[in-house]
Each structure stands twice: as C-alpha cells, then as structure tokens.
Amino acid sequence: MLTGRVVRIVGNLYHVENADGEWDITLTGKIRRARDGASKPAAVGDEVEFEPGSPGEGKLLRTLPRRTKLCRAGGSGGRIESVLVANADRVLAVFSSHNPDPDFRAVDRALVMGEAGKMECAIAINKVDLAPPPPEMEAYRAAGYPVFATSAAKGQGLADLRAWLHGKVTALMGPSGVGKSSLLNALEPSWELTTGELSLRIQEGRHTTTWVEMHRLSSGGYVVDTPGIENFGLWGIVAEDLPAYFPETRALQGKCRFRNCGHESEPGCALKAEVEAGRLTKRRYEGYLSILRELRESAPAERW
C-alpha cells in the first residue's frame, strides 16, 4: 500500500503523485458504491492510499481525512456534495474588469464558499488593460480581502500575485472568459504546452471537457485550476451560519441588540447601522442579503 496526492482527475482516472512519480489510479466497484453522498470518492488535492499494480498504475483504497475543502452542490437538485479541491490553503476568486463585466454576486458566493471551507480568500480582477478595476473592489479590500489588479496580456500585477501564491496551495475559481488560463500561463509560461497536451488527451477518449488540475509553481507552492463555473449551488451552509462567513458581520459579533440577529430586518442591527453611516457599502450588504434569502428558501443543507 502506498500514499500520494491526487493532482488531476480526468473522467474516472485519478492521477496521483508521490515521491516515486505519478500513478494512474482507477476505482474498484466497491469504492464507486461507497461514495457516502459525494459525487466522487476523491478530489484533486486529496491524500489517498492506493494499491500498486502494473508499473505506474494502481487501485484506490481510501481517501484520507481532509483539512479543508472547496465544494458546491452537485447532482440532480443539488443534493450531492461535489468537492472541487481538497486540502487547499487559499482560494483566489478570478474575475475580469471587462468582457465579461464582473458579477459581484458570483464574487460574494466564491468568497463565502472559501470561508466556509476554512481557507484564506483573495480576489484577482483580471483584464485591467481593457478597463480599470471597478470601484466596488474597494469594499472587498475594506473587508480585509487582498485584491490584485492583473493583466495577463500586459504582465501587470503578476509580481504581487506570485508573492501571495508562494508556498501555498491555492484553488482558482471563477466564471468562463475571465482569463484564468491566460493568467496561469502568464505566471508560468511553460504551462501552456502542458495545458494543450491535457486538452488533446481529453479529446482523444476521456469523454469529458472539464477537469481540475494541480500545478506546481516554480517559485514554490501549487495552484489548482478549476473549470469555469457560471453559477454554483452553495453546499454545507445554513442561514444561521452565514454571518460567520462575511468578515464585516464577524467584526460586529455581539454588537447587535439581539444575539441571533440575522442583519436583515431586526431592530438595533449594528450591520445596518454601518450601511446607513456609509462605513459599509450598500452593494456588499445586498450581496449578504441575497445569499441569506437564498439559504432560507432552499432545503436545509448538511452542515460542514
């Protein structure tokens, strides 16, 4: 029995890396049946135990406990936990300043999922060569999130972003078209060939057009590229827990008139007072309310 880390998943083939190299790991029927409500038995970033077979191949035995996870609701009706990345230290939400314009609702959701998954979060606003960063980004800086203004085409902001990525495992997420792949190739130009080779392998017989892959940074650390997600269902979060995933509400804990204040219509709400005083932007507050109402309307979610 050996252990290693899942660095890429293509279809039902798990590429696992350890000190001996990279292994192509497949699933037994028993493992497929014992998913415990998850979409897959392991995710990129998971530490796994496997039984080696032919050279460079093996069978998955079990997934070891996770430190963190970035997940979404998957399957029919969003009833299955879909873990995108396991054991990451950080989440970088990547959006563009133009073409497409930033979707702040999606930014808020990405940050909430990162917070719920016990990871540090930051934002990269890409394509600033086409348009300046929108003024709304200052609200996220004020909340304590690092915000990087980048241009993959011009190389702007890459040094600061590379320094933030150094030595950590960072999951990148964001919608299609924001330049996520271009940003990765600007950070590490040698990765462009690897991406092309992987796309070719997928087209040749994996019967899938999306994948998640872990890349090693030459300066130290890893980034995990995830497929473009236009919208994703929140998983593992209930309305009562949402204030813990917004830094602005965490900072006001205990300052509202009611201990269980939902920061919506309750009298004596410290968060609403911040909005009225102009210390918290209305847009950021509306983002909180949007997610809060969605959680209240949806079926009870399983807790973390």
**pLDDT attached to residue 212:** 83
Q: Quick check: helix, strand or coil at residue 6?
A: strand
Measured CA distances, 196 to 121, 181, 250 (Å) = 29, 11, 43
Burial of 181 (0-12, 13-18, 19+ CB in 10 A): middle
Measured at the CA of 130, the angle between CA 128 and CA 134, to 5 degrees, comes to 50
**Predicted TM-score (pTM) of this structure:** 0.87
pLDDT of 86 reads: 97
Q: Among all chains, which residue has been given the structure tokens 């602005």? A: 248
Beta strands in the chain (DSSP E): 2-10, 13-18, 21-26, 47-52, 57-63, 69-74, 80-86, 90-96, 120-126, 147-149, 169-173, 212-216, 222-225
Distances (CA, A) of 96 to 162, 209, 258: 18, 23, 39
Overall average pLDDT of the 83-112 stretch: 93
| Residues linked to residue 212 through DSSP beta bridges, in sequence order | 9
Q: What is the pLDDT of residues 10-43, one digit of tens each?
A: 888 999 999 999 999 998 777 766 655 566 889 9
Close Cβ partners of 234 (under 8 Å, ≥ 6 residues apart): 72, 73, 109, 112, 113, 116, 291, 294, 295, 301
Report pLDDT for 231. 63
Q: For tokens 């800086």, what's the residue? A: 141
Instruction: Give the residue-averaged pLDDT of 174-196.
Output: 80
pLDDT tens figures, 124-135 = 999 999 999 999
Distance, in Å, from the CA atom of 251 to the CA atom of 58, rounded to the nearest integer, reads 49
The overall average pLDDT reported for the chain is: 86
Of all residues in the chain, the percent with pLDDT exceeding 70 is 87
Query: Regarding predicted confidence, which is higher, 191 or 59?
Result: 59
Q: Domains in the chain and their CATH numbers?
A: 2-63 (2.40.50.140), 69-225 (3.40.50.300), 239-297 (1.10.40.50)
